Amino acid sequence: MAKTLLLYDAPFSIWKEQGISKEAIEFLDSIAWGSDGAVYEHKNTPEHFKYISNPYLVTITEEEKIMGTAVFCNPQVTVAGEPFNYYYTRYFASSPLIRGKGVVKKLAGQVMSSIREGEQSKTIFVGFIERGNKSSYKVTESAGYRTIGTIKTTGFSRFFPKKNNTIQQVTTEKEKQEVLTLLKQQYRQHALVQFDYLFMHDNYYVIKEKNKIVAGCQFHRVHWVVNKMPGLMGKIILNAIPRIPVFNKLFNPKKFEFLAFEGLYFEPGKEHQLHELFEGLLAQEKLKSALFWMDEKCPLYKKLIRYGRLGLINNFVKDADVYLMAAYQNMSAEEIHATENNPLYASGFDYI
């Protein structure tokens, strides 16, 4: 793949290239994510790269060896129904060889500013920063980004999930358009709305009543290895739960397999049908746990939290917040205000 040199600051070179190279995938597959909070490894990284929306890669290299990465993904989003160009940064990582030495902080700000200034259209730039990752927060803040929202990680689990023969897989174009119409209506006042990862592998499912969709969601299968959890309770969970029969099926840190839900839809008052759908999908996939991500100010999130009945896994992950930090190019004060004051849409695929 052709590479463009963005910056040289001896002994480091900063390169930009379309797509994601094999070397970068190998580098990212070796990274343990997190810092002061949970530390975990993604085990689906090579597979996920096949589906990321229009990515380009920025690498820090020293003598042609990758020392740091950032992947800029470029889906189109809407803010209260209005379309905007959008870049969000994933896989912002550095090698242990340069971590803590100020290298990334020094170079990242220059690179992010350069990329931002190169955009001619109205563009929103966003970074996802885990609450415990203070170093990434400081780097992103120094590049001119500010916090615009907090995404809550929510767990759903059942020790013995029950099969549900009423759930239906969405496969036809007509059904998909029906789902998209419902979702666009439900999230019409949200910001950063994009449905690029819906219908992957035909894994959007619904429950209907009288031939009308009352609940729906997309799932992605995920495999993490969890190496560390924050606080005393985190240590207890990490060390004790794997030794307890039944509980270790819910959460096994050495092989944490779960479903990631997104594109959640439910009619007002139909929270129980969404739970039935979640549980039925866990039974179908022979898993016990699932996660989903929503803005803490989202009215749908508040309804689901009030309804409760989420299962034990939620107690393990409920403090795993993600800060959304944003910077803007060529946008008016009114457009920025709409972005920051409407609930933020969160795609589950972006967090796995």
**142 plus 174 within the same structural domain:** no
**Partners of residue 39 on adjacent β-strands:** 228
- Going by the DSSP 8-state scheme, the letter that residue 237 receives in this structure is H
SS3 185: helix
- pTM (predicted TM-score): 0.89
- Segment 33-50 mean pLDDT: 66
What percent of the chain has a predicted confidence (pLDDT) above 90?
A: 56
Q: What ranges in the chain are assigned the alpha helix state H?
A: 22-29, 45-49, 103-117, 134-142, 173-186, 231-240, 247-250, 271-285, 299-307, 313-317, 333-341
**260 plus 286 within the same structural domain:** yes
**261 plus 145 within the same structural domain:** no
- The pairs formed by 313-318 with CB atoms below 8 angstroms and a separation of 24 or more are 313/155, 313/156, 313/157, 313/250, 313/251, 313/288, 313/289, 314/154, 314/155, 314/156, 314/157, 315/155, 316/155, 316/229, 316/237, 316/251, 317/153, 317/154, 317/155, 317/291, 318/152, 318/153, 318/154, 318/155
- Is residue 243 predicted with pLDDT exceeding 90? no
CA-based nearest residue to 343, from 151, 140, 191, 177: 191
pLDDT of residue 164: 97
CATH of the domain at 175: 3.40.630
- Is residue 159 predicted with pLDDT exceeding 70? yes
- Dihedral angle computed from the Cα positions of residues 46, 51, 52 and 56, in that order, rounded to the nearest 10 degrees: 70
More confident residue, 86 or 69: 86
Task: Measure the CA–CA gap between 121 and 145, rounded to whole angstroms.
Answer: 18
SS3 270: coil
SS3 217: strand
pLDDT of residue 230: 63
What range defines the domain where residue 54 resides?
Answer: 8-152+330-351
- Is residue 305 predicted with pLDDT exceeding 80? yes
pLDDT of residue 48: 80
Averaged pLDDT of the chain: 89
**289 plus 160 within the same structural domain:** yes
**12 plus 117 within the same structural domain:** yes
- Could you tell me which residues come within 8 angstroms of residue 117 by beta carbon, excluding any fewer than 6 positions away? 329
| Per-residue confidence band for 112, with pLDDT thresholds at 50, 70 and 90 | confident
pLDDT of residue 127: 92
Is residue 205 a part of any domain in this protein? yes
Is residue 187 a part of any domain in this protein? yes
**63 plus 145 within the same structural domain:** yes
- Segment 202-222 mean pLDDT: 97
Is residue 24 a part of any domain in this protein? yes
**80 plus 192 within the same structural domain:** no
Task: Measure the CA–CA gap between 244 and 71, rounded to whole angstroms.
Answer: 39
**223 plus 247 within the same structural domain:** yes
CATH of the domain at 48: 3.40.630.30
Task: Measure the CA–CA gap between 132 and 151, rounded to whole angstroms.
Answer: 13
**192 plus 313 within the same structural domain:** yes
Is residue 2 a part of any domain in this protein? no
- The tokens describing 65, both together, are 């060896």
- Segment 88-115 mean pLDDT: 78
Q: What are the backbone dihedrals phi and psi of residue 126, each rounded to the nearest 5 degrees, phi first?
A: -135, 140
**216 plus 85 within the same structural domain:** no
- Going by the DSSP 8-state scheme, the letter that residue 191 receives in this structure is B
Split into its structural domains, the chain has a count of 2
**147 plus 175 within the same structural domain:** no
Backbone CA torsion sign across 259, 302, 268, 272: positive
**142 plus 175 within the same structural domain:** no
Task: Measure the CA–CA gap between 3 and 81, rounded to whole angstroms.
Answer: 36
